[in-house]
Amino acid sequence: MFTAESWPIACNMLPFGPTAPDGTPIAEAPASVWAAQMRQVRELGFDHIDPTDAWVPLGKLSDARVKEFQAVLADEGLAVSSISMTRNSVVDVEHGEENLRTAHRLIDLAPEFGATVVNTGFMQAVTPEQQKALWFWLVDGHVDDPELRPLAIERTRELGEHAQRNGIQLSLEMYEDTYVGTPDDAVEFVTDVAHPAVGLNPDLGNLIRLHRPMPPYQEMFEKVLPHSNFWHIKNYMRDEDPRTGSYASAPMPLKYGVINYRAVIRRALELGYSGPFCCEHYGSDSIGVCAENKDYIRQVLTSALR
């Protein structure tokens, strides 16, 4: 069990995107580009990062480039607490088998980085319509095929077996219209997988931001927190008018959004949560907001663990 001071709270490197400033794919960029981006989050007080594949796809790097990445991490004084695999579903009709191989490689790489969790899920690439929207979640995207659910369970269990052999956990990120797209669906899916190394990422921010009816967040967290082993944590302003059916949402720092994370984090600890946190934010100065969120989480933990 971590202390409040030692609990891993990472910055998701998603805001830096998949290309270097000169347009070069970040996976092909010089190590100096990686270093400059890591340095920005280190200067904000982060000790850990999550090198999501929406930034640097570790699972597709050569062994030599992986070692180069590890060297940059050490030079910048950063550690990796989790590795997230984003929008690369293992049951993608076109790329599912390739994504499965990549997930296995990440599970092999994770212990080398000291990461305790590989995070994955069933969300798929944003559509052209979503790319045009102010916020991509304002437009409906991929919807999982119910007929592929047995294959999703089979492949998730396969990854869970591999994770267990490597002494780490696999976490499934909750995301709308996927097999883990509602609290009930997520709990049912992870129960059907039935593997001790597989849990949920209760990223209910992915749901709270949607312009559609939503149960109270307290009820949703109560269902999923007992099964959670990792946490993409973010918050949103949310407003809805039942008379007109209108909705509004926008990213907010943890302290100011509609979810009371002081209460939710304390409840998670009561239910036995012991996984890393990974701060996310969309829009504005994302990593700056993530740094504020890190300090907020640390204070909540300090208060809760006294």
Query: With bands split at pLDDT 50, 70 and 90, how would you rate the model's confidence at 1?
Result: confident
Distance CA 173, CA 227 (A): 12
Hey, is 119 helix, strand or coil?
A: strand
Cβ atoms of 266 and 278 within 8 Å: the answer is no
What are the Cα distances from residue 228, in Å, to 27, 90, 138, 276, 303? 31, 20, 27, 10, 21
**26: its two tokens:** 């970040």
Query: With bands split at pLDDT 50, 70 and 90, how would you rate the model's confidence at 51?
Result: very high
Chain centroid, CA 192 distance in Å: 22
User: What letter represents residue 277's amino acid?
Assistant: F
- At residue 69, the pLDDT reads 98
Instruction: DSSP letter for 126, please.
Output: P
Of 84, 150, 161, 159, which Cα lies nearest the Cα of 123? 84
Cβ atoms of 163 and 195 within 8 Å: the answer is no
- H-assigned helices in 46-95: 63-76
Average pLDDT, the chain: 97
- At residue 62, the pLDDT reads 97
Query: With bands split at pLDDT 50, 70 and 90, how would you rate the model's confidence at 247?
Result: very high
Query: With bands split at pLDDT 50, 70 and 90, how would you rate the model's confidence at 191?
Result: very high
Distance CA 39, CA 26 (A): 16
Q: What percent of the chain has pLDDT over 90?
A: 99
Q: What percent of the chain has pLDDT over 70?
A: 100
Name the packing angle between helices 63-76 and 31-43 (round to 10°). 30
Distance CA 90, CA 251 (A): 29
- Fold exhibited by the domain 9-304: TIM Barrel (3.20.20)
Q: Tens digits of per-residue pLDDT, 146-175?
A: 999 999 999 999 999 999 999 999 999 999
**38: its two tokens:** 């890591």
**222: its two tokens:** 């109560």
Cβ atoms of 155 and 183 within 8 Å: the answer is no
Domain boundaries, given as residue ranges, for the chain:
9-304
